[in-house]
Amino acid sequence: MRKTRVAALVIAAAIMAGALSQLPASPFAHNNYPQRPPSAPTADPSTSVPGANPSTSVPGADPSISAPTADPPASAAGTGSQKRTAPNSAVQPANPADPGNTELQTPPQTPHPNAAPGQGNPAITYPTRGTTTLTTLPANPTTIGQTGRIYTFQIAIEGGIKGIDPPQFARFVRETYGAPQGWTSDGKRRFRQVGPGQAADFRLMLVTPATRDTYCGGSFDQYTSCRIGDRVVLNVARWARGIPNYGADLATYRQYMLNHETGHRLGNAHELCPGPGQPAPVMQQQTLGLHGCTAYAWPLRNGRRYEGQLGKYDDPTPVS
């Protein structure tokens, strides 16, 4: 029995020695088996790449949205005309008889800063083209003026314009019409603001520059305001920024542009500067140049209608 146990132990020891001889000398040896290739490192998207160009466009970005530019200084008075043609992308209203319901044709672009030198209102921002849908403000029962024909008018503001307080804007319009040197002060006419759905002699519209081109037609400048039919169209770019070198504050320029375009609706044509150093007639195109006159916002002066000779200058329109 004892010899049998000894023999079994000897056999077991031999088997273990044989198994140990097959193990590698190191637990990290590969015995000629192929190794897994190392994984490529994954870039951290939050880490900037040294030497990258920050101006490189991002795939998928909208190339139509561009950085806003400020108005250049107005060209010198009396220079040759620089006629501009309508761009191919200009959008005409789907239903000219109902300008307040034009559908959006192009996406709003980056809002403009509103910093004309020394005066702009930075609280007002607007895209190049707004929604093209206008909101008509509520009526005001006050009759502006004492005697004369009553002109009813609506006030409408295009969607996309920010920083305009509608009641304050409407009050500014009514106070301008009723000012001592305004259109009502000679007793020939009165005004009354009507609301949505009410018949009106004209519609006063505050719109974005590209929408101005849609409604005004004829000249596609995105810079000026206009009167077309029974629409008195005010360009918000001029309302917010005024014009360079006007020689008066922004409130005065706003009174001028309102009185000038309304004057067209009342049947008045463009007029010329009566002489160097004289106030410019309200129907002179003061936005494009004063031609030796000084800025003046009103149709009357010293209680009488203030006018110049009929005519207009061949001034270039600044690029908006």
Q: What's the mean pLDDT when you consider all of the chain?
A: 74
Q: Which domain holds residue 263?
A: 134-269
Q: Is residue 234 part of a domain?
A: yes
Q: With bands split at pLDDT 50, 70 and 90, how would you rate the model's confidence at 319?
A: confident
Q: Which two tokens stand for residue 113?
A: 């800063």
Q: Is residue 55 part of a domain?
A: no
pLDDT at 2: 52
> Distance between CA 143 and CA 193 in Å, rounded?
8
The amino acid occupying position 268 is N
CATH of the domain at 171: 3.40.390
Q: Is residue 214 part of a domain?
A: yes
Q: Is residue 209 part of a domain?
A: yes
> Distance between CA 94 and CA 81 in Å, rounded?
31
> Distance between CA 294 and CA 185 in Å, rounded?
22
Q: For the chain, how long is the longest CA-to-CA vector?
A: 145
pLDDT at 86: 32
Q: Is residue 186 part of a domain?
A: yes
Q: Residue 109 pLDDT more than 60?
A: no
**Alpha helices (H) in the chain, listed in sequence order:** 2-20, 166-177, 209-216, 236-241, 250-265
pLDDT at 49: 32
When divided into structural domains, the chain yields a total of 1
Q: What is the pTM of this model?
A: 0.65
Neighbours of 256 (CB within 10 A): 25
Of 134, 139, 143, the C-alpha closest to 164 is 134
Of 237, 279, 15, 282, the C-alpha closest to 111 is 237
Burial (CB < 10 A; 0-12, 13-18, 19+), residue 68, is middle
Q: Which two tokens stand for residue 148?
A: 């004369």
Q: With bands split at pLDDT 50, 70 and 90, how would you rate the model's confidence at 62?
A: very low
Q: What is the phi/psi pair of residue 154, to 5°?
A: -100, 155
Tokens 């009502």 -> residue:
184
Q: Is residue 206 part of a domain?
A: yes
Q: Is 300 helix (H, G, I), strand (E, B) or coil?
A: strand
Of 278, 283, 276, the C-alpha closest to 298 is 283
More confident residue, 31 or 75: 31
Contact status, residue 232 vs residue 202, Cβ threshold 8 Å: yes
pLDDT at 228: 95
Q: With bands split at pLDDT 50, 70 and 90, how would you rate the model's confidence at 14?
A: low
Q: Is residue 220 part of a domain?
A: yes
pLDDT at 19: 45
Q: What is the mean pLDDT of residues 67-71?
A: 33
Q: Is residue 210 part of a domain?
A: yes
Q: With bands split at pLDDT 50, 70 and 90, how would you rate the model's confidence at 113?
A: very low
Name the region of 220 (left: φ>0; alpha: ψ -120 to 50; beta: rest). beta
Q: Which residues are CB-contacts of 221 (< 8 A; sequence separation ≥ 6)?
A: 84, 213, 317, 319, 320
